Amino acid sequence: MLSTVKLVADPYPPYQFEEKGKIRGVDHDIIKESFSVHDIETETGLYGWDQCMALMEAGKADGIFQITSTPERERQFLFSHQLRTACTLFFRRKGFPIELDSEVDLGSQLHNVKVGVLSGYSYGAEVDSIGDEQKVSAESGESLVSGLQRGEFALALMDQGVAACLMARLRIDTIEIIPGFSIQRKLFVAFRKELADLVRFFNSGLRVIKEKGVYDDVFRRYGLQPISQTR
């Protein structure tokens, strides 16, 4: 059995980031706590996503997180039980007169409304129904928040936890969530195919920290609440 698991992920506060020379964050801490149940240490490196995948494929990393499951990735890796649910929401400047109805086509509701999105990021078919001429690409969450404040676009799509982290750090209280629409994705830890034992250790450790309340405590540590999830 490995005494230390080598993990990789891309920097994504508040889920994994470096602070004062140490890696921390919601997802990082959950994984660390899960493996610690079996006295297994974790060592995490933060890189761009393409480099993370390359390290996995070269056998230089044991696991990668926060990753979504696809048929192609299922053929490449072994997937853990669900790590958490990610939730992407629409944000607006307070007072901007727009509401969203989950029962109505999104594209028709946002006709002629400029929407800030992360460059190169896929939000799924529903968001793809918004015309490209309405989308304004941003390179980071910070750019989405600042662009929304400056009125470069009327709405912005952001991960709920990322937005909360940014607004707290930048002391912004002029932006709010638009109720009525959300994109939820299941996120996992994926391991190299030959490391089935690690998957079992992680899954059992994850179950233990959930039963003991440690899982929820990690979210609260970063000012967040876990989103309800299924296996």
For the chain, the domains span 4-84+187-221, 86-184
CA distance 89 to 62: 32
DSSP type of residue 81: S
If 0-12 CB within 10 Å is exposed, 13-18 middle and 19+ buried, where does residue 50 land? exposed
Q: For 86-184, CATH number?
A: 3.40.190.10
User: Could you tell me the pTM of the whole model?
Assistant: 0.85
Assign 15 to helix, strand or coil.
coil
pLDDT in tens, 92-121: 999 888 888 888 888 888 888 999 998 877
CA–chain centroid gap for 190, Å, is 15
Query: Which is higher by pLDDT, 22 or 130?
Result: 22
Q: Is the Cα torsion angle 108, 109, 111, 113 positive or negative in sign?
A: negative
Would you tell me how many other CB atoms lie within 10 Å of the CB of residue 104?
11
Instruction: Evaluate if residue 228 carries a pLDDT over 70.
Output: no
Q: In whole angstroms, what is the distance from residue 49 CA to residue 51 CA? A: 5
Check if CATH label 3.40.720.10 holds for domain 4-84+187-221: no
Distance CA 206, CA 171 (A): 34
- Crossing angle between the packed helical segments 141-150 and 160-169, to the nearest 10 degrees: 70
CA atoms 167, 168, 171, 173: torsion sign: positive
Query: What is the overall mean pLDDT for the chain?
Result: 91
Confidence of residue 152 (pLDDT cuts 50, 70, 90): very high
